[in-house]
Amino acid sequence: MQIRDRIREFRRVPASQLRPHPKNWRTHPSAQRDALRGVLAEVGYATALVARELADGTLELIDGHLRAETTPDMEVPVLVLDVSAEEAEKLLTVIDPLAALAQTSGERLAALVANVQTQSAAVRNLLDQLAEQSRERQPRAAAGPEAEIAPSFQIVVECRDEAEQESLFERLRGEGFSCRLLVL
């Protein structure tokens, strides 16, 4: 397999000059927006946005819409790719889902989360959610016959499609609920 390097250049560009991709399918609940602002305030930019140059010279975002929207008055780091409109759509579609396919070591995540310090309530909430997820992923010892199972109150909501499921999931997580996605 031959793999091409499609990064043409690195630029610093005023975020307000970046054109959002018209087919961007990601939405950003307030909890995510708040957590991003907290991380940007405490750490700053640590990853580049990804864009492609259009025929008129403008840059169209592929990844980093929320970061650009959050800091419109800043010059932001941008990787400019040499990709077609079709390739940009493919990347727009798969970048986040590919990252989400990674599995989690609950033990490592718990150790990492335990050591992270923050002044941001939104970042603390995100860290608490990660800690809860790491506990849920920890293998549990088999209980003896006398083990008592604590009540768990849950709701199953049937959604029209995957987009509605994702939107509802993000909204509920943003409101602090512990959620899981299921496909039956």
pLDDT digits (tens, 9 = 90+) for 59-104: 999 999 999 999 999 999 999 999 999 999 999 999 999 988 988 8
Model pTM?
Answer: 0.70
pLDDT of 166 above 90:
no
Chain-wide mean pLDDT for the chain? Answer: 89
| Same domain flag for 27 and 110 | no
State the Rg of the chain over Cα.
20
Range of the domain at 131: 104-138
> Which of 100-104, 133-137, 141-145, 152-156 shows the lowest mean pLDDT across its residues?
141-145
2: in domain:
no
CATH number of the structural domain spanning residue 42 = 3.90.1530.10
pLDDT at 169: 82
Same domain (yes/no): 27, 72: yes
| β strands within the chain, DSSP E | 7-14, 18-19, 49-53, 59-63, 75-81
Least-confidence region, from 8-17, 82-91, 157-166: 157-166
Name every residue whose Cβ is closer than 8 Å to that of residue 124 and which is 6 or more positions away in sequence: 118
Identify residue 183 by its one-letter amino acid code: V
Same domain, 39 and 123: no
The per-residue pLDDT for 14 is 98
Tell me what pLDDT residue 135 has. Answer: 72
Assess whether 20 and 87 both reside in one domain. yes
Supply the pLDDT for residue 109.
84
In this prediction, residue 144 carries a pLDDT of 53
Domain count, the chain: 3
| Percent of residues, the chain, with pLDDT higher than 70 | 92
Residues 49 and 124 in one domain: no
- How confident is the model over 21-65, as pLDDT tens digits? 999 999 999 999 999 999 999 999 999 999 999 999 999 999 999
Four-CA torsion 100, 104, 106, 110, nearest 10 degrees: -60
Residue 159 has pLDDT above 70, yes or no: yes
- The answer for residues whose C-beta is within 8 angstroms of residue 24's C-beta and 6 or more apart is 61, 65, 92
Residues 61 and 84 in one domain: yes
Whether 174 and 96 share a structural domain: no
Report if residue 147 sits inside a domain. no
Pair 109, 92 in one domain:
no
- The answer to whether residues 44 and 15 belong to one domain is yes
pLDDT of residue 141: 54
